[in-house]
Amino acid sequence: MSTYVRFRHFGRIGTHMHSARNVGRYKSSKPEDSQEGNPLLKYLTMKITATGPITVAEYMREVLTNPLKGYYMHHDMLGEHGDFVTSPEISQIFGELIGIWCVSEWISGGKSKSLNLVELGPGRGSLMSDILRVFSQFKHLLNTCDISIHLVEVSPKLSEIQALNLTEKSTDAKYEDRSSCYKMGITKTGLPINWYYNIQDVPSGYTFYIAHEFFDALPIHILQKIQDEWREVLIDVDPEIQHKLRFVLGSSSSHIAKTFIKADEKRNRVEVCPEAAIIIQKLASQIKNFGGAAIIADYGHSGNKEDTFRGFRSHQLHNVLLAPGTADLTADVDFNFLKRMIGNYVSFLGPITQSEFLRNMGIDLRLKVLLENAKDATTQQHLIKSYDVLMNPNKMGKRFQFFSLFPHSRLEQTSNVKYPIAGFTELETS
């Protein structure tokens, strides 16, 4: 008898439409969907044939970051001609308000003499560019602070684009020691900037961590409850159809389940992300020991969803097992899981919806100023349309959540109305 069984919910995997990245219907009929000749599929098939079915986490890791054919390694997937669009690409206001959040928290936190500004998964660098523009406008306040920029990026392609956008040139200088930063330069605003493959390599110190649509791309394990036992969903080669992968169930209780599943878990299927646990604990430890804060913006839930693993290509939902390496793979962030992993290390706020956060940060006032300064009707229409995408509950307004980490001492200040937590406290307009 086989030690694996066909995964009964295959039809549901990869076809949900929870994400703001989705702007169309599920499709998978493009020429590049052909499985023959796909080098990553060939590699995965050989690997599975030799060693047995692999976890969804291992599959995601290979599909997204395989050095030769991984999706993130050689694609510029962002923007109108990419596979999805993010908030910083939609409107400059988004990044500006994150920049104001940083300045506000730096002031409220005691105006540290040094600041590491760290972004995890910085995309094209649009968000950091907008943040640094805000910093330059507050130069009179920040001139007493030694600021450095640190980007955690595994994609050579995206790091090149980031360097061009943030330094106006391709930044080729590299360290031989690849355990440290692999690229360095000076931003257009005159600040030192460094690139790293791993967050563990970023220097310690007073730090603001920014993670926008980062945690959703981390590899997940999918666990299915069968007769009071948790078994892991795996990926296998379909023996009946050439060049095709399929979902199967592991035959025994999963070690991941024993480690991460709560005893009172009510769901029958759970997505678990050990890498998210490691990273959030790293952020919490750094903030506790050195001060600072973290802002996390992603689409997610509070431990109530069961099936969010899906693929995106050309703004369409894409079968996660089809043509690996040609589409983005993602899963909603479980914010309750992050809270459990943080424990009592630091305090946290949220998650709250993107529309709540941006409104608390003053997006309506900022839009009004930009509309008044706009020189033509086309610019005004673009500003209004972008605002609607960010704030409309049927678009990004409710689908994206904001979550933040602070030292315990910072939250103790909130009893004094002089130091509210930016973005998580309603803006006073009077």
What is the reported pLDDT for 36?
A: 66
DSSP state for residue 361 in the 8-state scheme: T
E strand or H helix at 294: strand 292-301
What region does 105 belong to: left with phi over 0, alpha with psi -120 to 50, or beta? alpha
Q: Would you give the DSSP letter of residue 227?
A: T
With 50 as the cut, is the pLDDT of residue 59 above it? yes
pLDDT in tens, 331-340: 999 999 999 9
Would you say residue 355 lies in a domain?
Answer: yes
Among 84-88, 276-280, 392-396, the least confident range = 84-88
User: Is residue 35, in this structure, part of any structural domain at all?
Assistant: no
103 occurs within a structural domain = yes
Query: In the predicted model, what is the mean pLDDT of the chain?
Result: 87
**The domain that contains 198 carries what CATH number?**
3.40.50.150
Residue 41: pLDDT over 60 = yes
DSSP-assigned beta bridge partners for residue 221? 272
Give the sign of the dihedral formed by CA 217, CA 218, CA 219, CA 222.
negative
pLDDT in tens, 111-133: 999 999 999 999 999 999 999 99
User: Is residue 269 within 8 Å of residue 9, measured between CB atoms?
Assistant: yes
User: 78 falls in which pLDDT band (50, 70, 90)?
Assistant: low
Instruction: Give Cβ neighbours of residue 133 (< 8 Å, ≥ 6 apart).
Output: 95, 96, 99, 189
DSSP state of 201: G
6 pLDDT tier (thresholds 50, 70, 90)? very low
Q: What are the pLDDT digits (tens) for 340-379?
A: 999 999 999 999 999 999 999 999 999 999 999 998 999 9
Domain membership of residue 156 (yes or no) is: yes
Q: In the 8-state DSSP scheme, what is residue 32?
A: G
Name the burial class of residue 131, with classes exposed (0-12), middle (13-18) and buried (19+) by CB atoms within 10 angstroms of its CB. Answer: buried
Residue among 239, 234, 224 at smallest CA distance from 4:
234
The torsion defined by the Cα of 76, 158, 300 and 267, in degrees rounded to 10, comes to: 90
The answer to whether position 158 is within a domain reads: yes
Q: How confident is the model at residue 37 (pLDDT cuts 50, 70, 90)?
A: confident
Please tell me the distance from the alpha carbon of residue 178 to that of residue 113, in angstroms, as a whole number: 29
**How far apart, in Å, are the Cα atoms of 91 and each of 151, 221, 229, 361, 382?**
21, 34, 47, 15, 9
Count of the separate structural domains present in the chain: 1
pLDDT interval class at 77 (50, 70, 90): low
For residue 407, cis peptide bond before it (omega within 30 degrees of 0): no
In a domain, residue 106? The reply is yes
Rounded to whole angstroms, how far apart are CA atoms 416 and 287? 22
Residue 427 is assigned to a structural domain of this protein: no
User: Residue 392 CA to chain centroid, in angstroms?
Assistant: 21
Q: Are 307 and 13 in contact (CB under 8 A)?
A: yes
Mean pLDDT computed over 286-305:
97
Other C-beta atoms within 10 Å of 205: how many? 18
Q: If pLDDT is split at 50, 70 and 90, which confidence band does 75 have?
A: low
Locate 354 and state its tokens. 């993107």
46 falls within a domain: no
Domain region containing 350: 87-218+287-293+341-415
28 has pLDDT over 60: no
